[in-house]
Structure 1
Amino acid sequence: MVLLLRQRGRMTAEQLANELEVSTRTVLRDIDALSTAGVPVYSDRGRYGGFSLLPGFRTELTGLNHDEALALLTAGSDRGQKVFGLSAPLASAMRKVVDALPEGHRASLEDAAKRFLVEPEIDLLSRRVAAEELADGVMSEVRSAVLTGRRLRFDYVPPGKTPLPRTVDPIGLVTVRGHTYLLATEAGDDRTYRLSRMLSAEALPEPAQRPAHVDLDRIWAERSTRFLSKDHLPVVVRVKSSRRDELLDATRAVRLEESEQGDWIRLDVTFEDLRHAVWAVRQLDTDAEVLVPEALRVALRDRASLLVNRYDSIRSPDVR
């Protein structure tokens, strides 16, 4: 809180609460605690009021805690835009880093940071990016099990099936296309789970059975290769670029993507089976066209014929 007030000047209780992800009651309580401890924080009443520090006040930089250091290391990696639920520790750590900089460097860094925007909420077509929704507590429990090397128990919902309990040995976390996956082993067999399909999760006391060293890039590449070689249905489909993300969200894997003339994209994807493919393509209406396999084209044609026959007896209203 002190670092926020130092760097931003006057802030309201609501602004502090939102930034620190706490309640306004907690903010007010901590303001009182700071004043009692001798920190010169004062309040201004009125429409433009809020809390401020006396000009020139500076405090010792508190050392980074575990989650803050982890967030910085993760965010600094080659593909660190996704920080596995560490956004609040990352913000706290960055405030401490900025506060430790010399005054001149701090001003130039703050200006530079305003000139970069990573993964905005909407794209150029004004489509809002769908955020991954996780059940309460899932990310923190999974992350804890991965980092402390403990076994993990969770309830998992496979596509189109009922929830199943799982107990696994976690290896690592991977984020791809906005989705977070747990790499693990179950009874010695390799397993990959999407966190958004976990209803609950609990890190167990017993240690996980896993190697001491890990190469997630290699493991992910191997599992991706095995996944694509499984008996899934390969499909080549043309889709309007505006509906591309909808199709990708429904597929199991993407093998190839190429641009075509106009506003179309050709995708080589895989689905669970024929029924899964029919369902996914039908959601896109006339904005998608299956090229192969022929069995899927026939299934879509037959489904369209059934709908035409069902509604063929309906006459169009007379136009006067």
Structure 2
Amino acid sequence: MRASRLLSVLLLLQNRGRMTAEELAEELEVSVRTVYRDIEALSTAGVPVYADRGRSGGYRLVAGYRTKLTGFTEEEAQALALTGLPDAAAELGLGGVLAAARLKLLAALPEDLRSRAGRLTERFFVDIPGWFRDVESPPLLAALAHAVWENNRIRVGYRRWDNSEVTRTLEPLGLILKAGNWYLAARRNGADRTYRVSRIFGLEELPEPFERPAGFDLAGYWQQWSERFERRLYPSVALVRLSPRGRDLVPFYLGAVGARALRESGGEVDEDGWSRVELPVEPGAPALGELLRFGPELQVLAPDELRARVAEAVAKMGAAYG
């Protein structure tokens, strides 16, 4: 553990130049006193690190010194796939591994490329979750990730959508982060299924490994599952008229599903500037709520039952406001 931290101190100084003890301590998540001991250990080992005194001081390496200790461990090489997703890496128990891999990668670059890489992180940032929601932090996520890595069967307690609880023995195939939510792709009784990780309340990693299906493509599986999920979630279609303002609101109120419907509608506009669009809607009461959000910018044309329900709701709202 300490040897890995000493290497991290060395690579930080090599990549960033002068750093204070406080900056090193914050980066490595250790105390300032630990940094002092690590710097002393590096000096004793012959690394030419020295301290600049004063308000703008700090530790740095002798100009021109570069270490060649940049070989990747197996875990670090795997963690590079999560570059750009540090929060996700941390949730999977790979935060420290990813940080070490990134340092080694930067240390191995020539000076001009390392400078370009630094400028890139200063100018671009990827924020995965949607507005007003955080990434889930399921307590069993790291344990699930371990089972996925090791191809070990697991026995889990799972809380279904109706709040009933079941026990399942699964072959975990992969983890997916979607809009801040974690999902587990797993095989059960020969069929591939998807489980919301936050609904798993108990986990036992079984000693016997399983044979991963040949040719299983996690990204392809997720795309197919997502399309099936969307069809189940939006089984009905409503024919509506939309004002220009209403068209602009569709992606915000109905998300990617609504935006896709707009693109496929052809965009024909009548003499009033309104257009007819077939929008996918949820069944029952959710469809009514979704369409009422548009206010006067949307008019339901069909089906007749949904049009009548919207008209009734609008009449009641008008009566409530006198």
Q: TM-score range by the shorter chain?
A: 0.5 to 0.7
Match of 2:254 in 1: 247
Q: What is the TM-score normalised by the length of structure 1? A: 0.67
Q: Does 1:278 align with 2:288?
A: yes
Match of 1:78 in 2: none
| 3-state DSSP of counterpart to 2:222 | helix
Deviation at 1:146, TM superposition (A): 1.6
Which whole-Å deviations, capped at 9, do the CAs of 1:117-171 have from their partners, x for residues lacking one?
253589xxxxx74554212534322322222112345565655x43745533212
**Structure 1 pair 19–279 and aligned structure 2 pair: CA distance change class (3 A):** farther
Return the letter of the residue paired with 1:205.
L
Q: Give 2:184's match in structure 1, choosing from 182, 190, 211.
A: 182
Match of 1:302 in 2: 312
Match of 1:147 in 2: 149
Match of 1:192 in 2: 194
Q: Is the 8 A contact 1:234 1:269 kept in 2?
A: yes
Which one has a larger percent helix, Structure 1 or Structure 2?
A: 2
Match of 2:37 in 1: 32
| 3-state DSSP of counterpart to 1:190 | strand
Q: Does 1:256 align with 2:258?
A: no
**Structure 1 pair 288–101 and aligned structure 2 pair: CA distance change class (3 A):** same
What CA RMSD, in Å, does the superposition of the two structures yield over aligned residues?
A: 4.3
**Structure 1 pair 301–180 and aligned structure 2 pair: CA distance change class (3 A):** farther
> Which structure has the larger Rg?
2
| 3-state DSSP of counterpart to 1:248 | helix
Deviation at 1:69, TM superposition (A): 0.9
Q: Distance in 2 between matches of 1:265 and 1:44?
A: 70
| 3-state DSSP of counterpart to 2:254 | helix
Match of 2:100 in 1: 92
Deviation at 1:189, TM superposition (A): 3.7
| 3-state DSSP of counterpart to 1:144 | helix
Q: Does 1:119 align with 2:129?
A: no
Q: Distance in 2 between matches of 1:263 and 1:36?
A: 73
Deviation at 1:173, TM superposition (A): 2.7
Q: Is the 8 A contact 1:175 1:181 kept in 2?
A: yes
Match of 2:163 in 1: 162
**Structure 1 pair 71–287 and aligned structure 2 pair: CA distance change class (3 A):** farther
Aligned length: 292
Match of 2:80 in 1: 72
Match of 1:125 in 2: none
Q: Distance in 1 between matches of 2:57 and 2:26?
A: 17
| 3-state DSSP of counterpart to 1:135 | coil
Q: Is the 8 A contact 2:158 2:202 kept in 1?
A: no
* Structure 2 stretches lacking a partner, 5+ long: 1-8
Q: Is the 8 A contact 2:18 2:59 kept in 1?
A: yes
Return the letter of the residue paired with 1:86.
A
Return the letter of the residue paired with 1:29.
T
Return the letter of the residue paired with 2:261.
L
* Structure 1 stretches lacking a partner, 5+ long: 76-80, 123-127, 313-320
